[in-house]
Amino acid sequence: MPSQQQYTVDPQVMGWLLLALREAMGDPVVRNAILQKEVGTPRGVEFGKTFEYGFTLKQLEDYLDALFRKRGVRYLLFTAQNLPDKRSRETHYQAYIVDYRRHHVWIMDPARTPSGKGIYHPFISNDIIIPFFTKHGWKAEFVPTTSACQRGLRDVFCQSWSLFLQIEFVKMLLTLGHTQALEIPSRKEVRNQLLVDFFQRALSVPAVCDQVTTSYQHLICTHRDLVAGVSSVQEKKAIRESFLQFSPCRLLMKMNVYDLD
């Protein structure tokens, strides 16, 4: 386990910061702002919707239907998380690139290993997205990686890894014109450094930093776990105020790979 000296921020504070960051990275506006920063605005590339918590199956199916009526688009990027059901409560994010010229849909599952298995399951892809496109004669294919991004249950950054993979793969499509496996390090520390670097680039985007700050402040002001076991109203208030004194983006810009453990 990392020593206290290896952490850049108090681990308890960092825990709330990372929770706020995860919430922000699932936000549709944030994701598209990051896509624009990382990919730019190439002609024919459209940044689509993110189907996060609370969407219905009909909303997703209507959106997929509408994709076939688009004109003048080369690649369309969108994201969907698993719909919680009786089988699983995994809200696992998966990202997609719709390739209109090839009639091909590329699927990014951050938990997928080279053998096709993973610690989380791409239910929304297997049950909804793939059958929908294959029914229309399109090919749907998972993007290959040299290693899974998420290899342990403590890695709950599927919303962030899925976006990272989507960015890297669309860059490949735009620059190489062909595809190959995305290089993901098998060593945990090196893999986490990719994620830290990605987060810190994203935090330089004002819309991202603003949403992280909003999420952090809301969590600190409302989450019961922060003051669990504290009975005094005054003490609860003091604890919340002590956490609110921090600047979330400034602290997150200091994080390192050990802060993700």
| The pLDDT of residue 194 is above 90 | yes
- Output the pLDDT for position 8: 79
In the prediction, which pLDDT does 4 show?
A: 53
What does the alpha-carbon distance between residue 145 and residue 117 come to, in Å, rounded to a whole number?
12
Neighbours of 183 (CB within 10 A): 10
Residue 177 pLDDT: 72
When pLDDT is cut at 50, 70 and 90, the band that residue 140 belongs to is: very high
Model confidence over 149-182: pLDDT tens digits? 999 888 999 999 999 999 999 999 999 877 899 9
Look at residue 87 in the predicted model and tell me its pLDDT. Answer: 60
Cβ partners under 8 Å of residue 118, min gap 6:
109, 111, 112, 148, 150
pLDDT on residue 123: 93
pLDDT score recorded for residue 7: 74
Which two three-digit tokens encode residue 255?
A: 């994080």
Residues 127-148, mean pLDDT to the nearest whole number: 96
- Give the span between the Cα atoms of 105 and 241, in whole angstroms: 47
pLDDT of residue 164: 98
In tens, the pLDDT along 5-43 reads 577 789 999 999 999 999 999 999 999 999 999 999 999
Average pLDDT of the segment spanning 114-143:
95
